[in-house]
Chains A and B, each alone.
Chain A
Amino acid sequence: MPLTLPRRGLFALEILFWIALAASFFVFPDRLYLLTQILIAALFAVSLDIALGYAGILTLGHAVFFGMGAYAAGLLAKAGWAEPLTGLALAFVLCGLVAYALSVMIVRAGELTQLMVTIAVGAIVVEIANQATPITGGSDGLQGISMWPVLGAFDFDLWGKTAFVYTFVVVLALFIVVRRMLQSPYGLALKGIHGNRKRMYALGSPVEGRLRFAYAASAAIAGVAGALLAQTTEFVGLDTLSIDRSAAVLIILVLGGTGRLYGGIVGAIVYMVVHDFFADLSPEFWMFWLGLFLMAIVMIGSGGILGGLSRLVRSERS
């Protein structure tokens, strides 16, 4: 017998969730670096959820936008304008535009072709970043980034306090935007396309335009997540673009539950904490259990952590 939550209770739960996230600042003051990383991974996973969970675009190359945002913010800072918010804005716009251009190849293709196109674009971008050593630093990464204080007042400190608060505020703000977007009629249309594309065509919905916008929005937010990483760690490596990162974010999202808004965040918390816990073990060991876990999650078909929870707790609306 599932527990039933009143509609207002669900909203209160959301508020409580974010307060708990903010409170982690005081509970784990010596783990602020990990907490900031979790927030960034969460934002990245939420961005993927727009494309994958809501629009149903199968991608194994989302790290392209994460890395592109990171390089954009890092290069802007190195070029002499190290104001953090401008860096985020640049990453947002650049990734959005590039993704919108690329989306022509993606929205009409079948799943396998989507997968191949995103993998191929990822491989090409990594190779470009690797070859353009004078600009990107190649395999050494982009070093020597030094950010100005946030809003001209809060310097990035050694303990990562500013980094955490800054990341938290940006992630929360973007999350509210995404939440609003996905609960609007536009979000409903995306769900419709994911559920039955032919029927949405028949309803006169501009399917391709909607998908292209979703892909661009998803990429723009992924770019901001990357820019946050570049600004808070003051370093950008080639691995930000790699297919490993694309696969990791996919795993995070699926672990939390796709198409559920909070799936990416819950997945990021669990994945990063477990990864941090097992970091001392050999990478093969980690890979083996990750592989088995992925196989198990598909065979059991639980829909991730949130999917499992939703079977125990119902809200009044559904």
Chain B
Amino acid sequence: MGIVVFDGLAFGALLFLISVGLSVTMGLMNFVNLAHGAFAMAGGYAASVVMNAYGFGFPAALLAGFVAGAVSGAAVEVLFVRRLYRSHPLEQVLFTIGLVFASIATATYFFGPTMQPFSIPPYLEGNFAFLGAELSRYRLFLIVVGVIVVAALVLGLDRTRFGAMIRAAVDNQRVARGCGINVDRLFLATFTLGCGLAGFGGALSLGMLTLNPIFPLKYMVYFLMVVCVGGAGTITGPFLAALIVGIGDVAGKYYVPQTGGFLIYLLMLALLLARPNGLVVKKGAR
């Protein structure tokens, strides 16, 4: 029981790190983005290359993951996405599916179809005993990072000028524009930050998930689920949803392995039926 909750929390923290940017960009711009996992994958490969090919340490790899996610996110935003904010959701879906396909093919071309090798740094390796259960240090590290990031984001959104601008734009974009907020630049900054966090999460995921080229497609549903269940445009919504999805997924696979990933979808349908607008509804929603 304890270990299931613990592993679920670790998986949830990872899901939160990758998906939180998606939540904010979806809430801010109503942009249906299926390709968010591609930025996480970019971060994962960057971290892997930095460690395996150049021999840097784990912290440098995490930084590389963040930078790779942010840079690729900013490039995609400037080149394509900003033209699609006002498009029909179908076009956004098609474009982002196309981006997923192209990124899978590109990753396969450069890195091959197999999993990337990764070894957890010695100071995070192994287990520790807690209340009679053997828990993994790396997963504890994931949970701690997740909590720090959620605290930083909530504080940043609440206390800083930039956060106030984001809140204003999420609540009512037109009025925010009217108040002189440069919403276009805000979009770019938020998209970049969100993709950077996804890349950071992708780098962290090396120690828990398998990183191969189908990563964006394999976990796409999880990221979308977190945003959809949690409520787009908020920080705490996806955090709660990520923990629920993480624990639900691990518990489902642990207790009823024959049904595979099936239970998590039932859970999602139930949550969506109960709260169609998400667990935490953003202010100013219709």
Residues of A close to B232: CB separation below 8 A: 112
Asked if B97 contacts A247 (CB within 8 A), the reply is yes
Whose C-beta in chain A lies nearest to the C-beta of B32?
Answer: A112
A127-B262, A295-B80 known; A117-B95 Cβ under 8 A: no
CB distance from A244 to the nearest CB of B (A): 9
Chain B contacts for A287, CB-based, 8 A: 101-102, 104-105
Which interface residue of B32, B90, B104, B259 has the most chain A CB atoms within 10 A? B90
- Whether B224 pairs with A116 at a CB distance below 8 angstroms is yes
Question: In the assembled complex, how far is the CB of residue A298 from the closest CB belonging to chain B, in whole angstroms?
Answer: 4
Closest to B100 in A: A291
Q: Which of A116, A123, A292, A297 contacts B272 (CB 8 A)?
A: A116
Cross-chain contact B105 with A291 (CB below 8 angstroms): yes
A258 close to B (CB within 8 Å):
yes
On whether the beta carbons of A290 and B98 are closer than 8 Å, the reply is: yes
Bound state CA distance, A128 and B100, in angstroms?
27
Contact of A139 with B by CB under 8 A: no
Q: How large is the interface on B (under 10, 10 to 19, 20 to 34, 35 or more residues)?
A: 35 or more
Which bucket holds chain A's interface residue count? 35 or more
Task: Digitize A244-260: 1 where CB-to-B-CB distance is under 8 Å, 0 elsewhere.
Answer: 00010011001000100
Contact B102 A127 (CB under 8 A): no
Contacts beyond the supplied A291-B99, A293-B98: 20 A-B pairs with Cβ under 8 Å: A58-B93, A60-B93, A112-B227, A112-B228, A115-B224, A121-B269, A123-B221, A123-B265, A124-B269, A127-B260, A247-B97, A284-B108, A291-B100, A292-B98, A292-B102, A295-B99, A298-B84, A298-B91, A298-B92, A298-B94
Query: What are 29 A-B interface contacts by the 8 Å CB criterion?
Result: A52-B90, A58-B90, A58-B93, A112-B89, A113-B276, A115-B89, A115-B224, A120-B225, A121-B265, A123-B221, A123-B261, A123-B262, A124-B269, A127-B262, A131-B259, A254-B94, A284-B108, A291-B97, A291-B99, A291-B104, A291-B105, A292-B98, A292-B102, A293-B98, A294-B98, A294-B101, A295-B102, A297-B94, A298-B94
